[in-house]
Structure 1
Amino acid sequence: MNDRILIRAYAPGDVGATIDIFLRAIREISSKDYSATEIDAWANVEDRNRWAERRISRPAWMAEFDGKPAGFSDLTGDGCLDMMFVHPEFQGLGIASRLLRRVEDEALTLGFGRIYTEASRTARPFFERKGFRVVTKQIVEKRGQSLENFLMEKLCG
């Protein structure tokens, strides 16, 4: 286990870091799987306050690598891993795996029988390696663009 990675509870002061991670991960990593027009529609945070409220309203975690914000994740009340993004500079270091383990631990604590996510084309292989299965392919609308993603689930326990 990498002791340079710290997973901690999300705090209100993390809003800027999570937005930066979200935008950079989409623009710099997911851009290999989506068109420039799709990326422009997806990589957008219109309301910083609403973003902050969503993170603080549910179990959410920050990953730090050597004390720097490296990723984040959250879990909704119905077992949805709503967001999990890793900063481009910290890809491939095990951060997403550690975040997912924390989400799975929380799901077990809350008594969920399964967790699910809507994984991008980029994230799908990661989730498949971690035991998720594709339930269905979906098309979601973002600012007038149709983006493909995958409803995926994993049984807990």
Structure 2
Amino acid sequence: MIFRSATISDLNEMQKLYVETIQSVCKNDYNTAQIEVWIHGVQNMDRWIDVINTQFVVLALIKNKIAGYGTLKDGNYIDFFYIHKDFQRQGIADKILKKLELEARKQNSKIITSDISITAKPYFEKKGFIVKAQQKNIRLNVELINYKMEKEL
């Protein structure tokens, strides 16, 4: 496994991983309407380009395929954190999280935060994150539940 920063040329593969992971991994925690609304965000190309251009983005690659990625916004917020549906439970998330936490420390952040899905909540709790609030987000008239979580570095 190798790690590198993302570039615009990685965008299509990152978006495909995002959609497929949500559809596959999150299907037990979110219904079809919620998943459709969640993945609808993939169509906001300006947002995705902004992520590549302004955030710390680390890709994990196995045989030149993106196995997972994480992004750090403003030095202290995990914006995107997805592991490919075929590469779950192989330690990839741990390695990406360590890299994001290291970058946050380099940027003098004392706390790292994120908005975490129901699916990912147990993982982040095991990594020392605590729930600050349950959030009900309305997107396209559909309610999505996630959790504001944080960890002291």
TM-score (norm 2): 0.95
The one-character-per-residue Cα deviations of 1:53-84 (angstroms, maximum 9, x if unpaired) are 22221111111123211111111115110110
Counterpart residue number, 1:120? 117
Is 114-123 or 59-68 further displaced after alignment? 59-68
Asked if 1:52 corresponds to 2:46, the answer is no
Which one-letter code corresponds to 2:98 in the other structure? R
5+ unaligned residues in a row in structure 1: which ranges? none
| Structure-2 change in CA distance of 1:83 and 1:56 (3 Å) | same
Counterpart residue number, 2:36? 40
Which one-letter code corresponds to 1:147 in the other structure? L
5+ unaligned residues in a row in structure 2: which ranges? none
Counterpart residue number, 2:135? 138
What CA distance in whole angstroms lies between the structure 2 residues aligned with 1:135 and 1:50?
A: 26
Deviating beyond 6 angstroms after TM superposition, the runs of 4 or more aligned structure 1 residues are none
Correspondence 1:1-157 to 2 at 5 A: 5-44=1-40, 45-77=42-74, 79-156=76-153
The CA RMSD over aligned residues, in Å, is: 1.1
What CA distance in whole angstroms lies between the structure 1 residues aligned with 2:44 and 2:115?
A: 21
Residue-pair matches, total = 152
Structure 2 counterpart SS, 1:25: helix
Identity in percent: 28
TM-score (norm 1): 0.92
What CA distance in whole angstroms lies between the structure 2 residues aligned with 1:114 and 1:26?
A: 26
Kept after mapping to 2: 8 A contact 1:7/1:63 = yes
Structure 2 counterpart SS, 1:103: helix
Kept after mapping to 2: 8 A contact 1:42/1:143 = no
| Structure-2 change in CA distance of 1:91 and 1:131 (3 Å) | same
1:152 to partner: Cα distance: 0.4
